[in-house]
Amino acid sequence: MRADQVTDPLCYHGEGPVWAESWGGLRWVDMLAGDVLSLGADGGVTRRSVDPKVCAVVRPRVGGGAVFAVERGFALEDPDGTLHRLPPLWDDAAGLRMNEGGCDPDGRFYAGSMAYAKTPGAASLHRLSPAPKGGAGEVDVALEGVTTSNGLAWSPDGSLAYYDDTPTRQVAVFDYSREEGLTNRRVLVDVLDGEGKPDGLCVDAEGGIWVAVISHGRIHRYTPEGVLDEVVEVPVQKTTACTFGGDDLGTLYITTSWENMERGEDPLAGALFAVRPGVTGLPTLPFAG
């Protein structure tokens, strides 16, 4: 299959696409610009600045609005668009920023970090719990010793979580429960083809895992057993993430980047792409706060 171009090359580093009916469709981020983009029904795109440096990942809240991972922690958006930044988790001296993540079936929001210098093992996967009466509660560390924390998504029954630490060139799988969180880490896919590395990922209604293979211009679909059974070709080298959307959740949206490249070196880089792969996705898991 081959993906079709949806927008102009609007992003330097497009990432984190998410579809939610509560906010009217698709949102994604121009990560290093700190902006959230929204795709209108007419194909138009609007842009909102959320953080001066980095906006990493965004998910809907059950009562409306959204939760964000920004450069050094988390922020909550009210239904009216008002933004509340939570206390930072580290200071500038740490040399870290948030990257990718997602929500678990119990409404907790995860965001993983990475070092600007890409220092091996310097990052963590952080988990924001909802407060008992709504809003944000405690933050804890769900996983340590990470280098570039990336895609995170759950199986249709919620019992498994799939995860990418990009430099490993592996897709990992965990067992998941509310009480124990992420346990029993093991390898689902070991060493992607060629020079490709796993970036963002999502899961379809049949349990297939769709992985953006950055620097490879592809999206791979793996079965729950780790077998590659579908490839989507994208006419851009750096494919960063993917998600299912549309009224029937049957469209796979794909973000791209021209980070660390000369402008025009990859002419369509930074555009949004889409394909109808013949399967449907899962509704986006929301933050319960």
Q: Give CA–CA dist 185/142, Å, rounded.
A: 12
Q: Are 77 and 67 in contact (CB under 8 A)?
A: yes
Tokens read off for 64:
């409306």
Residues 6+ apart with CB under 8 A from 76: 61, 65, 66, 67, 68, 83, 84, 86, 135, 136, 289
- Is 190 annotated in the active site? no
**Could you tell me which residues are beta bridge partners of residue 42?**
none
Q: Are 98 and 50 in contact (CB under 8 A)?
A: no
Of 35, 51, 104, 199, the active-site residue reads 199
**Could you tell me which residues are beta bridge partners of residue 76?**
67, 84
- HEC letters along 12-45: CEEEEEEEEHHHCEEEEEEHHHCEEEEECCCCCE
Q: Are 46 and 28 in contact (CB under 8 A)?
A: no
Query: Residue 204: what residue type?
Result: D
Q: Give CA–CA dist 138/276, Å, rounded.
A: 39
Q: Are 123 and 143 in contact (CB under 8 A)?
A: no
Q: Are 258 and 32 in contact (CB under 8 A)?
A: no
What residues are labeled active site?
199
